[in-house]
Copies of this chain bind each other. A is one copy, B any other.
């Protein structure tokens, strides 16, 4: 274990000064403080009592306003807390974005928080551990959308397959002119869903009919997509919309414009909350099991923690990833293409 004596030696200073720096007390020359800080980082210093009480799990929440109100985050977090409380862990919430989430910062934060491990709720490229992250040997699970293949443990939605399945369903019920409404490239989930969409069309030898890509993924953006699409000469007979807010806005605006779903157009979307099922025309959707993913992530994390307790010497565990295939729920926003159309 590293003590302040080690830090004092490494920083060429005394335990008194180290103690002062640790506790943020005034009266240490900036250069000295800097040396001490560096030594603490290098030697992974943590006060003795923090080493002793590691009963907390840190949950990293995407750092934007009202983040917890998103159904996606709320449901995952709900699964995490329900499970962690049962296991006797406390949950410590922390905001994060890619900038403060490189492996070094992450490790230091976990130490500072006396955390037994961490759960990262991933969203898009802004709220994701940086690409070169390697979390091996650090108990962690990333939950949400897939990031990369190795060096991290993840529970993620198979967005590619979800996009593929949604599209395949539309093809199977006879549609040949299928468009897509999506969020711009920053978002990993939307991107993978689009790729799945393209793959399904390719296999069926169909062209993309209309592809609308929006700057944000809100209800209002969905509304504007509907205005755009229905002001064209022709529109597709079916549409994949890559998240629920876009789909809700789209469907509401379509209705205002006198378009009937599913008579005039079929829509498949991806849902997080109960909302799509409660609209005037309940929507056909790929259903994300966010709550269960939170549970699964917490269980996986606990396994890691237990394992790392058992064999301190054990080499790096191979990364542990679980891909989740999500089901299609057919409701009223889709229908078979009428064979003969004038």
Contacts and interface: CB of A to CB of B under 8 A. Distances in A.
Interface of A: 23, 47, 49, 52, 56, 61, 63, 65-69, 71, 74-75, 77-78, 81-82, 85, 90-95, 113, 219, 248, 252, 274-275, 278-280, 291
A61 B93 CA distance: 14
A278 to B, nearest CB: 6
Given A93-B91, A94-B90, A95-B85, A66 B278 contact: no
B61 A68 contact: no
A285 to B, nearest CB: 15
A82 B65 contact: yes
A47 B52 CA distance: 12
Given A63-B85, A91-B93, A219-B278, 12 more contacts: A23-B52, A67-B78, A68-B75, A68-B77, A69-B71, A69-B291, A81-B93, A90-B94, A90-B113, A252-B278, A278-B279, A279-B280
30 contacts: A49-B49, A56-B92, A61-B81, A63-B85, A65-B82, A67-B78, A67-B81, A68-B68, A68-B74, A68-B77, A68-B81, A69-B71, A69-B75, A69-B78, A69-B291, A74-B74, A81-B93, A85-B94, A85-B95, A90-B92, A90-B113, A91-B92, A91-B93, A92-B92, A93-B93, A252-B278, A275-B275, A275-B278, A279-B280, A280-B280
Nearest to A49: B49
B90 A93 contact: yes
Identical chains in the assembly: 2
Contacts of A252: 278
A137 to B, nearest CB: 24
Contacts of A63: 85
A278 B65 CA distance: 22
Contacts of A56: 92
A105 to B, nearest CB: 16
A284 B93 CA distance: 35
A252 B90 CA distance: 40
Contacts of A291: 66, 69
Contacts of A274: 219, 275
A130 to B, nearest CB: 21
A219 B81 CA distance: 25
Nearest to A282: B252
A82 B69 contact: no
A52 B19 CA distance: 13
A47 B234 CA distance: 73
Contacts of A67: 78, 81-82
Contacts of A278: 219, 248, 252, 275, 278-279
A66 B91 contact: no
B61 A69 contact: no
A246 to B, nearest CB: 13
